[in-house]
Each structure stands twice: as structure tokens, then as C-alpha cells.
Copies of this chain bind each other. A is one copy, B any other.
Amino acid sequence: MSQMRKDIFTGRWVIVEETTAVRPADFHFKKSLKEPTFCPFCETNEAATPPEVFAIRQAGSLPNHPGWSVRVVPNSAPHLRIEGDLCRRPGGVHELMNGIGAHEIIVETPRHDLSLRELEVPELSNVILACKARILDLERDPRLRYVLIFKNQGEQAGARTISHPISHLMALAVTPRAIKTKLLISRNYFRYKERCIYCDMLEQELDHCQRLIAENKDFAALAPFASRFPFEMLVLPKTHSSAFSSMGQEPIDNLSCILRDVLGKLDRILSNPPYNLSLQDRPLLRPRVGYWNTIEDDFHWHIEILPQVARITGFEWASGFFYNPVPPELAARCLFGSV
């Protein structure tokens, strides 16, 4: 089992693997690895993964057999495990707990050779439906506080050697620091202005249009004013909403449309760049803890898309500052103009 360790100097949590089997040579710099010939996520290979926890399948097809369009399975090499207790405890001055949580793989399509943006809108909507269903299910486990959904596209963005289109879901026993910061700031802003900080920003951006990348009835895609990365994108609902899982079918389809559009633009103008995509949602509702309930409505869920086309340097690591050589207005113009 892994451990969750808290860095007492920054409040940062780290999942530390408990292993003695690591050799330093495993970490020598390697050129790209060759993709294995067998893929456990392809249709007909269902037996190669742990049994599925969710799937959208053709009527009449059997669980863990072909006939699915989206399939969610536990990760066979999970960072966190669902069995056991947290046992949060001190280690002298340090602070730790057991690595409890869920680590699942969302297999976005049975087809190995597609990328997320090549899916048709109804297929992409099924992926979003699967995410929603997993969040609602995991919300029932009282040990869990947060469901993190993210995608690593390309080796430079941390994807492993298997190129089958997948996303990761990690359900955590603590709300991540990056989310806590956003929750706190949006709550403070709401208390002061009685408005949502994301809604205010969105109104300004839709008014000026200089950082707008795409828009439809329910969603907008922007180049954030303080983009950390060249060609960074932010996708958010135009109507205030704190919970991804509250989306109905029409917004889900419109989210699929805009994601397909902006990921297509990114692939075209940057020639299929590596990127990380993540859902930034409110924490799971915990009726017995009044605190999060009081702030959940101040937050405004969104999706971050971070192209990994520049290297992170000591500057970013040392300071938490970023350096971005591409003005977001220019990035938006390139992306918006790309059809």
C-alpha cells in the first residue's frame, strides 16, 4: 500500500509508493519506449483488465465483454487502494496517512487508434456521462472528499507507453491544495461582491472577445488572462454551476461539441501537441461537514487544457511563478482563426 505524506512546510500532499524494489538505474534517462503489441483497453481484451465498474454498452451485451462504447475499470497498478482505513497520524513532526482512494481508468473508446478529439459528439458525450456516473457513485463513500479526473495526452504530458485513448479518475480522501485555493478565493470574492468570480471574468471576456477561442449556447472556451502555458485553454459553463455532475443531457452534448472543437484547433495549429486536461470540480458533498456545503455554490466548475510545449524550469519549481512566451491574446487569435 502507498502512503500519503504531507509536506509540513507547504501543506502539499504526496503519494509515496512503499516499495523496496526500485533500482536507481530505472531512472536513468531513456529515449522513448516502444509501445507493447498487446493493449488491455482494446475491444475483445476485456479480460485483461480488472472487472469494469461502469460501461455504456449495446443492449444485450454482457459486462466485461465486447459491445461497449465507454468502459471504466480499476487501474491494475493503482496509486491508491479502496480497501482499508485512512489512519491519519503523526510521524514525529511529520504527518501521514494510508494511501486510500480509488484509481480508475476511463477507456474513452474501444478503438486504439483514435484520439479524444476524433470521437463523434455522441461518443464524447458518453465519456462525459461516464465521468458523471462515477462521481455520483463515489460520492456515496464517506471516506472520500474529492474526485479528480484528468487526461495525459502524449508522452511529454506523462502518458505511458500504451497509446489507447484513456483518462484517469482518482478519488481522494483530502481535497487537493490547488482546488482548496480556488474554493477559498471564490468564496472570499463572493462574500465581498455577492457575485461569482468566474461569472464576472466570463462576462468581461465575452464582452471584449480578445481571449475568446470558441463559444456555444452553454459553454465558452478562453485563453486565460494569466495563462501559465503557451496556448493554454479554459472551458467553462456560461451559466453558473458548481457541480459538473449536475449537467443534463443538452449541456453534456454542448460540452462535447466545444471540446471537440477546441481540441481539434489545438491539434491543427500545434500539430498534435502533448497536453494535460483536467476537470476542476467542487469537492464531494459531505452532509455532516457544514463547511464545504456553505461554499460549494460560490465555485464555478471548469476544465483546464494545458499544452506541454515548453519545459518547466527551476524558475517555476522554485517560485510557483510561471513564464509564458506567448501572450494569451495572440494564442486566442491563432486558435480562434483556425477552422
A304 with B318: CB separation less than 8 A: yes
A321 with B13: CB separation less than 8 A: yes
Interface residues on A, range: 35 or more
The stretch from A49-57, A107-115, A271-279, A287-295 touching chain B is: A271-279
The answer to whether A270 has its CB under 8 Å from any CB of chain B is yes
The answer to whether A1 has its CB under 8 Å from any CB of chain B is no
Closest to A307 in B: B27
The stretch from A58-66, A126-134, A174-182, A247-255 touching chain B is: A174-182
A177 with B22: CB separation less than 8 A: no
Query: Nearest Cβ distance between residue A191 and chain B, in whole angstroms?
Result: 15
Contact with B along A169-196 (1 / 0, CB 8 A): 0101000111101100110000000000
A321 with B12: CB separation less than 8 A: yes
Contacts of A17 in B (CB 8 A): 323-327
Assess A327 versus B178: contact at CB under 8 Å? Given A9-B185, A312-B312, A318-B280: no
Contacts of A231 in B (CB 8 A): 24, 27
Contact with B along A11-54 (1 / 0, CB 8 A): 11111111110101101110000000000000000000000000
Contacts of A7 in B (CB 8 A): 224-226, 228
Contacts of A186 in B (CB 8 A): 9
Among B14, B24, B311, the residue within 8 A (CB) of A157 is B311
Interface SS of chain A: helix, strand, loop or mixed?
A: mixed
Contact with B along A259-272 (1 / 0, CB 8 A): 00000000001110
The stretch from A81-89, A117-125, A135-143, A147-155 touching chain B is: A147-155
Which one of A277, A318, A334 has the highest number of Cβ atoms from chain B below 10 Å of its Cβ?
A: A318
Residues of A at the B interface (CB closer than 8 Å) are: 5-20, 22, 24-25, 27-29, 79, 91-94, 148, 150-152, 155-159, 168, 170, 172, 176-179, 181-182, 185-186, 197-198, 200-201, 204, 208, 224-228, 230-231, 269-271, 273-274, 276-280, 304, 306-307, 309-315, 317-328, 330, 334
A-B pairs, 9 with minimum CB distance:
A158-B313, A150-B314, A278-B318, A176-B319, A178-B320, A276-B314, A7-B226, A5-B226, A177-B320
Q: Would you give 30 A-B contacts (Cβ < 8 Å), ordered by A?
A: A7-B225, A7-B228, A13-B322, A14-B323, A15-B322, A15-B324, A16-B226, A17-B327, A19-B327, A20-B330, A22-B230, A24-B334, A25-B271, A27-B273, A27-B310, A28-B270, A29-B274, A91-B225, A92-B208, A93-B200, A93-B204, A94-B204, A94-B225, A158-B313, A168-B314, A172-B321, A178-B318, A178-B319, A178-B320, A278-B317
